[in-house]
Structure 1
Amino acid sequence: MLSIITLSILVLLSIVLIVILTSVTKLNAFASLFIVALLLAMVALPDKDVVQILKEGFGSTMASIGFLIIFGAIIAVVLEKTGGAISIANYILSKTGHGKAASAMGITGFIVGLPIFCDSGYIIMSGLVKSFSTKAKIALPFIAFVLATSLYSVHCLTPTHPGALAASGILNANIGMLILLGILFAIPATVAAFFWIKWQTRKNTYEETEPSKGEIGNEGQLPPVSLSLLPIATPLVLIAIGSLLAVMKVPESNFVLKGLAFIGQPIIALLIGTFLSLFLLKNRAVKSINSILESAIEKAGPILIVTGAGGMFGMVIKETGVGAYAGEFFLQTGLGLAVPFLIASILKTAQGSSTVAVITAASFVAPMLPALGLDSETGKLLAMISMGAGSMMVSHANDSYFWVVARFSGINSNTTLKVYSTATIVMGIVTFLCVWLTSFFIL
């Protein structure tokens, strides 16, 4: 039996190895997580059934989040292919006016970012960024980075996205409540980024740019905004109702409330959103629907595999007992919620992927929760948001999203580092401070 000190060193080395494999050697995230989980299990748990531990970690994660990722991917693909996301952006701009184009892009990014991954969302909306910048005579970096950070905030904090989903499964947190809290805490992050970017780009002069060819200019081709919003808003409303009823503990005799509680479960709510998204399709033939489903499954497949591998790595760490020991140590430091935040921050900055950072952090933090006093439902939720805040810091040159933002906006990397990367630091710190202050009232 290895000593707890030896086990702790092995776990730390395994995390360092994940960082090296994903960021230095550029090895696929699934392969990195699987190899490291297997090696750690073989070395640290020689007396246990290694294969069974790996299967249990992978399977339990898939059971908790698999359907959510698939349904979310279908909604995202439909919004992308039908122009629903562009329709929402145009509608918001028509209400705010060209003078507030940056605010319009921020609101659009926040809404569109709920079902769509930040990189996909930015690629879809990048044409509108250049068009809005030209029409409103607003500096391109201002409007581009506002869109980038609003998409990024919900990507890191809400479990409609793979990192937060996988981490919530590892921590066994209430996904419905986490979606609502994630959206709530993403608001101050987005607002803080907006004002930081506005201040950073205050001296920039407007330069004429050509509208992107990626923009869908003919609004007659776009679906109605009400129909575009339906697959996003309906699941959120249903989940909010379901979470509220879960807190209230619905009586068995009330079938209406039981029915609402059933459709308010995240899986059922997203399934309903998926059906509603199909109304955006002009061609609803089986062949057309199959094409959408195949695209979504192709998109969801790699994400499912990575999140499952993250759950597997988490199960191995849990079996070593290092997390509980580390929790006792950190408890004496009085850091509390800062522990999950700092771990996720270090991992994100070191290897670039918010998804890998939050999954790895959750694997490390989960066994610490009792020692940190965060094993209650509320404690798990706050720990999750803290890790989400940490997974925002710092998006720089080792993050693929950084390059998506720079290349699709046509802004040089130095400006992107100066404005966008520093904005992600502000977002992470502001979000964590909000979580920390909230903990005094609800924890």
Structure 2
Amino acid sequence: MSHTDPMQRSMNGRTTVMADSMILINTAVAITAIVVLIVRFRLSPVIALVLGACYLGLSTGLGVEKTVDTIAEGFGDVMADIGLLIAFGVLLGALLRELRAIERLVDVLLRVFGPKRVPYGFALTICTVLQSIFLDVLLVISGPLARSIGSRLGSLGKARMATALAISLECGIVFTVPGAAALALASLLDVSLGKYLLFGLLVVIPTVVLAIAVMSFFFARGWWNADVDELPETDLDSTAAVGVGGPGTAAATELRKPPSLLLLFSPLFGALLLIAAGAFAEVLEWKNPVLELLGSPILALLLGVVGTCLVARKVLGQPTVEKALGAGLRDSGQILLLNGVGGCLAAVIAAAGLGDILGGYFSANSWAPLLLVWLMAAVLHVAVGSVTISAITSAGLLAPVAPVLGLDPVLIALAAGAGSLFFVHLTSNTFWLLQSLLGQTTRGTLKTCSVGVSVASVIAMGPILALSAFL
């Protein structure tokens, strides 16, 4: 019988520790380099993420061929999972925008909820129903509407509506299917979209309501000063003219008899219900070929697009529908690229073996991994200023840990989304759009957007940690 020399075993242990340490160090260098390239040198996030993935693969010993193959496979896997979903979601949003469905929905909310509760109804609608619409487009359309409602809610109306809009927009894209970041997170962590839809709703609804309530509490106690937090009304005229019209105004003048809102939104609602039904059937282990087919996210959203096209064609005519679809396809390009290259980095991180290394630091029943992924996403967001980049990068870092720990991947996805919301600030395009469209000063926007969304980021961990006790 042969015996291993104790000194040899010790040397092998030290070699393993050194190799693991180098992987951790090179991963930190890659993430830092991505941040510096984006923030300091204003390099496109798409290019910066691919360069970071290349460095990490080469520095951790994957070699040139495997690094390139892993990057390509990571991009392809994400596109296979969510490429069509993003395209269909954006097309749905483009059609609803052309139909002016959002403006009409806001009028209904104001009548139903009344002035006191309308910020909550407005925010919940934005973060759940309207996530198929490209973020900046949704903001440009809904911003002037929120400001108009705010002017009818008293001295704190603008602050309450600005906060409600900021929180709902940012929470929606990370927690709600088919939000762009939510689709990417589900793909990176191999979470079914039906499951993400269900658990995302369990997180986003209480988060949005509680965050708005907390901010309203502080505003009511003197934290909002209209003299320094709001712009004079005369400064808003040109902004209002641009915002209220929006892309759908010209088409709206062609409407002879506006269709009911239920008809306009029924294809989208139907698609989401099919996805949710498919998820319930999967959880209950109920096998039904028809439901499996119709409840698949790709087919469900495709049916939603087809249904909305038919409604829009009847209301607006075929030329306007084709124009809206063309605009939607242009909008989807940058979303697809950004999410795809996020998959490149995540694939290289997994191939480098980071999951096994990090798995040794945590226990299976510990909250530490969820808090760590939240912290990583928060730090990345403060540095880079992009919710999507910070969410998919932090999720990619800890995705390999999920099977090692026995954690349900949906928890890591939701924690990454929550952390990526922390401190939306001056590097974010959303920040400046909210400032101009809601008539706020920079100081006021820091309160409603930066602080408001950060409050939501922290509150969201409550439902997520509660869910971890049952999953």
Asked whether the two chains share a fold, i.e. TM above 0.5, the reply is yes
Residue 337 of structure 1: SS of its match in structure 2? Answer: helix
Counterpart of 2:337 in structure 1 is: 305
Deviation string, structure 1 residues 17-45 (Cα, Å, up to 9, x no partner): 11112222222111111121122223323
Q: Which structure: larger Rg?
A: 2
Which residues of 2 match residues 105-124 of structure 1 at below 5 A?
105-124=122-141
Aligned partners of 2:193, 2:439: CA distance in 1, in Å?
37
Deviation string, structure 1 residues 38-63 (Cα, Å, up to 9, x no partner): 22223323545222111111111110
Give the CA deviation at 1:365. Answer: 0.6
Counterpart of 1:322 in structure 2 is: 354
Aligned partners of 2:328, 2:253: CA distance in 1, in Å?
25
Give the CA deviation at 1:334. Answer: 5.9
Give the CA deviation at 1:347. Answer: 1.3
Counterpart of 1:3 in structure 2 is: 19
Deviation string, structure 1 residues 374-394 (Cα, Å, up to 9, x no partner): 1xxxx1111111111111112
Counterpart of 1:84 in structure 2 is: 101
TM-score by length of structure 1 reads: 0.90
Residues 98, 434 of structure 1: alpha-carbon distance in 2 compared, 3 angstrom cutoff: closer
Give the CA deviation at 1:153. Answer: 1.3
Residues 8, 336 of structure 1: alpha-carbon distance in 2 compared, 3 angstrom cutoff: closer
Counterpart of 2:395 in structure 1 is: 362
TM-score by length of structure 2 reads: 0.85
Runs of at least 5 residues in structure 1 that lack an aligned partner in the other structure: 252-256
Residue 172 of structure 1: SS of its match in structure 2? Answer: coil
Amino acid at match of 1:9: I
Aligned partners of 2:39, 2:348: CA distance in 1, in Å?
22
The answer to whether residue 275 in structure 2 is matched with residue 239 in structure 1 is yes
The answer to whether residue 464 in structure 2 is matched with residue 435 in structure 1 is yes
Residues 223, 15 of structure 1: alpha-carbon distance in 2 compared, 3 angstrom cutoff: farther
- Mean alpha-carbon deviation: is it higher for 154-163 or for 303-312? 154-163
Residue 45 of structure 1: SS of its match in structure 2? Answer: coil
Counterpart of 1:382 in structure 2 is: 411
Contact kept, 8 Å, 1:164 with 1:359, in 2: the verdict is no
Contact kept, 8 Å, 2:134 with 2:331, in 1: the verdict is no
Counterpart of 2:10 in structure 1 is: none
- Mean alpha-carbon deviation: is it higher for 185-194 or for 46-55? 46-55
Aligned partners of 1:334, 1:92: CA distance in 2, in Å?
39
Aligned partners of 2:422, 2:354: CA distance in 1, in Å?
25
Contact kept, 8 Å, 1:231 with 1:277, in 2: the verdict is yes
Equivalenced residues, count? 432
Give the CA deviation at 1:344. Answer: 1.4
Counterpart of 2:372 in structure 1 is: 339
Contact kept, 8 Å, 1:18 with 1:32, in 2: the verdict is yes
* From 408, 422, 427, the counterpart of 2:451: 422
Aligned partners of 2:340, 2:141: CA distance in 1, in Å?
28
Runs of at least 5 residues in structure 2 that lack an aligned partner in the other structure: 1-14
Amino acid at match of 1:322: L
Counterpart of 1:23 in structure 2 is: 39
Counterpart of 1:39 in structure 2 is: 55
Aligned-pair Cα RMSD in Å: 2.4
Counterpart of 1:60 in structure 2 is: 77
Counterpart of 2:209 in structure 1 is: 191
The answer to whether residue 304 in structure 2 is matched with residue 273 in structure 1 is yes
Amino acid at match of 2:214: W
* From 243, 248, 251, the counterpart of 2:284: 248
Aligned partners of 1:171, 1:108: CA distance in 2, in Å?
27
Give the CA deviation at 1:341. Answer: 1.7
Give the CA deviation at 1:272. Answer: 1.2
- Mean alpha-carbon deviation: is it higher for 91-100 or for 408-417? 91-100
Amino acid at match of 1:160: P
Residue 399 of structure 2: SS of its match in structure 1? Answer: helix
Residues 219, 141 of structure 1: alpha-carbon distance in 2 compared, 3 angstrom cutoff: farther
Residue 215 of structure 1: SS of its match in structure 2? Answer: helix
Counterpart of 1:173 in structure 2 is: 191
Residues 219, 103 of structure 1: alpha-carbon distance in 2 compared, 3 angstrom cutoff: farther
Give the CA deviation at 1:249. Answer: 2.4
Amino acid at match of 1:305: L
Give the CA deviation at 1:71. Answer: 0.2
The answer to whether residue 260 in structure 2 is matched with residue 229 in structure 1 is no
Residues 205, 31 of structure 1: alpha-carbon distance in 2 compared, 3 angstrom cutoff: closer
